[in-house]
Amino acid sequence: MTDMLMQKKFLKNSEGFTLLEVVIAMAIMVIAFSAILAVEGGSINATTRAKQMNIVAMLAKNKMVETEFNFEGKTFEEIKKEEAGTFENPYEDYQWKSVIKELTFPNLASLGKNSSQNSDGGQTQGAEMVTRILTNFLSKAIRQVIVTVSWKRGNATQDFSLSTYWVDLNHEIKISEQ
């Protein structure tokens, strides 16, 4: 009888976890590990994307520098307006395209006519002529250069563009009424 009493006393005083407590603890651990895995997966994707964008930016910058070297010592009329190709190994998955555009400036002479009514027609006409010559010079002396790098990402094509402006200060100024 004392053995039986001791066993009951032992069972009442024993401390342990119930099945429900163990299941709840396991559920909390599964949720925590799932969250950690999701964060790590996102971190790996962000790192991969940053590495790819770094490569693309480097390729675009190198192509821009190469385009500038090809232009050196030439006039705007001597250079190709558009070129395209694929990068060499190990970047054969990336394509490039360079476009050189002539900028067209608006006729600024017409803005002065409406804003000021000058009684001296000679000065107004002279200012219009100078504005027209300057506008024509800027249109002929400045080019926009755009280098675009393209690559496949999944089913879609991604593009990264880099743009700069070239100024030919040696371009002649044509003084004419055109």
The pLDDT tens digits of the residues spanning 123-163 come to 677 777 788 888 888 888 889 999 999 999 889 999 999 99
pLDDT tens digits, one per residue of 56-65: 999 999 999 9
Cβ atoms of 141 and 171 within 8 Å: the answer is: yes
pLDDT at res. 11: 57
- Please, what is the average pLDDT of the chain? 83
Q: In which band, very low, low, confident or very high, does the pLDDT at 111 lie, cut at 50, 70 and 90?
A: low
Strand order of the sheet with strand 82-86?
82-86, 94-102, 142-153, 156-167
Q: How many residues are recorded in the chain?
A: 178
Which residues face 161 on adjacent strands? 148
Other CB atoms within a 10 A radius of the CB of residue 176 amount to: 9
The reply to whether omega before 90 is within 30° of 0 (cis) is yes
Res. 37 pLDDT band, cuts 50 70 90:
very high
Domains plus CATH for the chain? 18-167 (3.30.1300.30)
- pLDDT tens across 23-36, in order? 999 999 999 999 99
**Mean pLDDT within 171-177:** 65
